A and B are shown apart, each in its own frame.
Chain A
């Protein structure tokens, strides 16, 4: 039964269990290498997070319902832990370019309304040298100086000095900066259009340090091939969206004056 509902733009957030002032909202939207998707799925499973809310839009998302053990779920869902400190948002479907900006705006506004202390966006950054890397690097960008404090002290992850970010996380960051929402986006070097569990694993390690919770990644790496089989069709759905959202910009050097 729905206990609270919030309509933000074209999206409706329906809570089946109250979400109140969580410290962290971890966001995994389908993007480069499905890094965020894989990482958040792993975090939900490893921390034993339970279903809290569904997010839907009849005008911007395809008419999809997820059936699981005879129950109907929204394609975008929020999971949370027992003490309500960590919540995580993930999606089962590819987002079309028209829905990316409105959804990112809605997530930032929802985070603001719910009093989320930090939003952690997880994704991949296209790196043409990814094939030669043993272990991908992790980079961060923050919307506020307060947000940058939670990552600045972690030596394994590096601040992005210059570059472009394209896609849902670009909107997430810009809107967070405008609305003073503390958002950090963590990006691992990744393949563009092949699911990348190794990149997801390095991002999960970074999240583990930020939220001070143990999240083992051995299982994620062991099951990498099975995860890739499961996510293959989602990656195919995302391929044209990635091209249409202009991912090529991320490979360009920025013009800073």
Chain B
């Protein structure tokens, strides 16, 4: 039979062990997420290297009734960009300005022939009413969400 102070000690010990296990579980989950993300990036880079393409950086801003999609394509050759809008996705394609890539990254950089990215949108959109504007290296696409 355990004394009350021994029971308290054991309960506290169990609580601490449980806390440690929970912390270790959280750290393990975070590490697994990191590995998964690194794997995804590696696969994306390998695919882009094999295709000779580079996906543009983009950001999506939810403006209530419409979406503002911003694509940054500093490596694209002037006048070659094509934007295809579908109800659920957007495709950005263009040729690469090789001289610009060489100036930025040097001659040893990997061979990139074209810019290409396909992005699934967070809301269905109305492609017919989209407005596209290019300012500097950025392309701004304003498009109403379906039903607005």
A and B: bona fide binding partners: yes
> Are B74 and A225 in touch, CB under 8 angstroms?
yes
What does DSSP make chain A's interface, helix, strand, loop or mixed?
A: helix
Quick check: is A49 within 8 A (CB to CB) of the other chain?
no
Quick check: is A195 within 8 A (CB to CB) of the other chain?
yes
> Are B34 and A96 in touch, CB under 8 angstroms?
yes
Quick check: is B121 within 8 A (CB to CB) of the other chain?
no
Q: Please provide the chain B residues from 103 to 148 with a CB less than 8 Å away from any CB of chain A in the complex.
A: 103-105, 136-138, 140
Q: Which of A98, A232, A237 contacts B30, CB < 8 Å?
A: A98
Q: Knowing A230-B104, A230-B105, A236-B41 are in contact, say whether A191-B70 is a contact too (CB < 8 A).
A: yes
Q: Which of B37, B45, B75, B103 contacts A240, CB < 8 Å?
A: B37
Q: Which of A193, A228, A236 contacts B59, CB < 8 Å?
A: A193
Quick check: is B33 within 8 A (CB to CB) of the other chain?
yes
Quick check: is A194 within 8 A (CB to CB) of the other chain?
yes
> Are B30 and A226 in touch, CB under 8 angstroms?
no
Task: Chain A residues near B34: list those with CB within 8 A.
Answer: 96, 98
Q: Please provide the chain B residues from 19 to 54 with a CB less than 8 Å away from any CB of chain A in the complex.
A: 27, 30-31, 33-34, 37, 41, 45, 54
Assembled-state Cα–Cα distance A224/B137 (Å): 9
Quick check: is A111 within 8 A (CB to CB) of the other chain?
no
Listed by A's residue number, 30 A-B pairs whose Cβ atoms lie within 8 Å are A98-B30, A98-B34, A128-B63, A131-B61, A131-B140, A191-B59, A191-B70, A193-B58, A194-B57, A194-B59, A194-B72, A224-B136, A224-B137, A225-B100, A225-B104, A225-B137, A226-B104, A229-B74, A229-B75, A229-B100, A229-B104, A229-B105, A230-B104, A230-B105, A233-B45, A236-B41, A236-B57, A237-B41, A240-B37, A244-B33
